[in-house]
Amino acid sequence: MPFTLAIVGRPNVGKSTLFNRLVGKRLALVDDQPGVTRDLREGEARLGDISFTAIDTAGLEDANDDSLQGRMRRLTERAVDMADVCLFLIDARTGITPTDEIFAEILRKRADHVLLAANKAEGRAAEAGVIEAWGLGLGEPIQLSAEHGEGMSELYSALLPLSEGFAEVAARTSEEPDLSLPVSEEADEDGPAPTPDKPLQIAVVGRPNAGKSTLINRLLGEDRLLTGPEAGITRDAISVTMDWDSVPTRIFDTAGMRKKAKVQGKLEKLSVADGLRAVKFAEVVVVLLDAAIPFEQQDLRIADLAEREGRAVVVAVNKWDLEEDKSGKLAALREAFDRLLPQLRGAPLVTVSARTGRGLDRLRGAVMRAHEVWNRRVPTAQLNRWLGEMVEAHPPPAPGGRRIKLRYMTQAKTRPPHFVVMCSHPDKMQDAYTRYLVNGLRADFDMPGTPIRLVMRGQG
């Protein structure tokens, strides 16, 4: 069963050009099909050996200015809801516009999987736009030239794991549910847990001057990185490998990538982008805060990015040696964290001093535990027993008088934990009920702080 990919973005970024390239002559116009308006073009697309259905949301240029925003929004939302994956196009030559930000916001809220692509990326005129695109917080932009056919292999590489994931979920969900399925028979598609030759991958992210380099130096036990009081100082190291109390660990530093910040004014934006790049590599992301100025916008964004990228998150509050009212401050930080980042509720929060080395053992404990939770697999039988109890305590909604039936639940993936709930009318399920289940999973299976993915699927 092929998946559906929606190509979204503001007018003129090159959606139709890309659609035509992917679909070629296999285009099927779907004007007459119920539920699909004339605005959405659909076609059978192929990229290498991946087949999928592509939806194009172009064709809005006729709308007059007044209604354009609203129509664009509605159309995009409809396409997003129809799609398994959204390919969000921006124009790398123009850079990020306010309208792109609006689209990014819709996608963040609504889409399951978003791939970001910077189109018109042929040639040097596109470089600044590509860097800006990192700042959207939707991951690494795939550089494309729809017109010249460049970047198609990158697009392929980005689609492949998703395509395999959908095929796997489809295969699993078409099996007869067997509630007594023993755990040991479930294949672990993610392979074995890290072994001595496969180090634990950590990224230390945070604002300039939070103390990232000081922390990494301290862990390494030598001054291998340069630290200094100037924000944004440039350094070389990108990753360092070490034994963290006998656990082989690779730490990604975001500082070395800061060299790209050639333009002074762009520093703030770039360090978010740099953090993101490191987040991509990591299994566990340590968000390092300065105790004196915790949870600034940039810290929140990075933690949120880490969550959206599906990484385990540990928050380390640095420069604790300077703090006077330690217990009062800690309670306030905990409260602020759970309020500002509810999607990471209960994530470990550890106070440290990179300068004196205090708290680093606790940080290590929190990182190892977060990694374990992130890798955890909950047995299917246990999940279904749990689902029964949750439904009994709180029945799902009954839109239009017909109660949604939750039939079966399984964990489709780890790193981070992904769950699939088979149900009637998944489209009518309310977010609040999904949140109820996610929070329940977190609490009952002791999975604090790790991103939890839960999707509702219909049968058939």
Q: Any binding-site annotation on 16?
A: yes
169 binds ligand GDP (CB under 6 A): no
Rounded to 5 degrees, φ, ψ at 35 are: 85, -10
User: Phi-psi bin for 211: left (phi > 0), alpha (psi -120 to 50), beta?
Assistant: left
Alpha helices in 322-379 (DSSP H): 326-340, 360-374
Q: Binding string to ligand GDP for residues 171 to 210, with x set by CB under 6 A, is what?
A: -----------------------------------x-xxx
Reduced to 3 states (helix: H, G, I; strand: E, B; else coil), residue 337 is helix
Q: Which of 6, 58, 79, 118 touches ligand GDP by CB under 6 A?
A: 58
Which residues, other chains included, contact 81 with Cβ-Cβ below 8 Å and sequence gap of 6+?
A: 110
Query: By C-beta, is 28 or 322 nearer to ligand GDP?
Result: 322
Q: Binding string to ligand GDP for residues 99 to 138, with x set by CB under 6 A, is what?
A: --------------------xx-x----------------
* Range 436-442, long-range pairs (CB < 8 A, 24+ positions): 436/390, 436/394, 437/387, 437/390, 439/345, 440/386, 440/390, 441/378, 441/386, 441/417, 442/345, 442/346
Q: Any binding-site annotation on 209?
A: yes
Q: Which of 188, 196, 205 is nearest to 412 (CA)?
A: 188
Give, as ranges, the residues between 251 and 270 that touch ligand GDP (CB under 6 A). 255
Query: By C-beta, is 208 or 416 nearer to ligand GDP?
Result: 208
Q: Which two tokens stand for residue 133?
A: 């695109």
Q: Which of 4, 12, 173, 434 touches ligand GDP by CB under 6 A?
A: 12
Distance CA 380, CA 410 (A): 5
Query: By C-beta, is 256 or 451 nearer to ligand GDP?
Result: 256
Q: Which two tokens stand for residue 306?
A: 């880490």
351 binds ligand GDP (CB under 6 A): no
**Beta strands 349-351; 200-205: pairing state:** unpaired
321 binds ligand GDP (CB under 6 A): yes
Q: Which stretch binds ligand GDP (CB under 6 A): 168-176, 301-309, 319-327, 372-380?
A: 319-327
4 binds ligand GDP (CB under 6 A): no
Distance CA 24, CA 326 (A): 63
Q: Which of 3, 5, 14, 203 touches ligand GDP by CB under 6 A?
A: 14
Query: By C-beta, is 61 or 185 nearer to ligand GDP?
Result: 61
Which residues, other chains included, contact 348 with Cβ-Cβ below 8 Å and sequence gap of 6+?
A: 314, 315, 366, 369, 370, 448, 449
Q: Any binding-site annotation on 365?
A: no
Q: Give me the least distance between CB of 455 and ligand GDP, in Å please.
A: 29
User: Phi-psi bin for 346: left (phi > 0), alpha (psi -120 to 50), beta?
Assistant: left
Alpha helices in 351-451 (DSSP H): 360-374, 380-393, 431-444
359 binds ligand GDP (CB under 6 A): no
145 binds ligand GDP (CB under 6 A): yes
415 binds ligand GDP (CB under 6 A): no
Q: Give me the least distance between CB of 58 and ligand GDP, in Å please.
A: 3
* Range 44-52, long-range pairs (CB < 8 A, 24+ positions): 44/2, 45/5, 45/19, 46/22, 47/22, 47/152, 47/155, 47/156, 47/159, 48/153, 48/156, 50/156, 50/159, 50/160, 50/163, 51/2, 52/2, 52/3, 52/4, 52/5, 52/159, 52/163
Q: Which helix (H) or strand (E) holds 304?
A: helix 297-308
Query: By C-beta, is 89 or 409 nearer to ligand GDP?
Result: 89
141 binds ligand GDP (CB under 6 A): no
Q: Any binding-site annotation on 56?
A: yes
Q: Which of 41, 78, 212, 311 touches ligand GDP by CB under 6 A?
A: 212
34 binds ligand GDP (CB under 6 A): no
Q: Which of 214, 410, 411, 414 touches ligand GDP by CB under 6 A?
A: 214
Q: Which stretch binds ligand GDP (CB under 6 A): 36-44, 168-176, 315-323, 402-410?
A: 315-323
Query: By C-beta, is 147 or 188 nearer to ligand GDP?
Result: 147
Alpha helices in 63-151 (DSSP H): 65-82, 98-110, 127-134
Q: Give me the least distance between CB of 301 and ligand GDP, in Å please.
A: 16
Distance CA 393, CA 388 (A): 9
Q: Any binding-site annotation on 401?
A: no
271 binds ligand GDP (CB under 6 A): no
36, with CB counted inside 10 A (0-12, 13-18, 19+), is: middle
Q: Which of 163, 298, 353, 380 touches ligand GDP by CB under 6 A?
A: 353
87 binds ligand GDP (CB under 6 A): no
**Which residues contact ligand GDP by CB under 6 A?**
9, 11-17, 58, 119-120, 122, 145-148, 206, 208-214, 227-229, 255, 318-319, 321-322, 353-355
Binding residues for GTP: 9-16, 56-60, 119-122, 206-213, 253-257, 318-321
User: Could you tell me which residues are annotated as the binding site?
Assistant: 9-16, 56-60, 119-122, 206-213, 253-257, 318-321
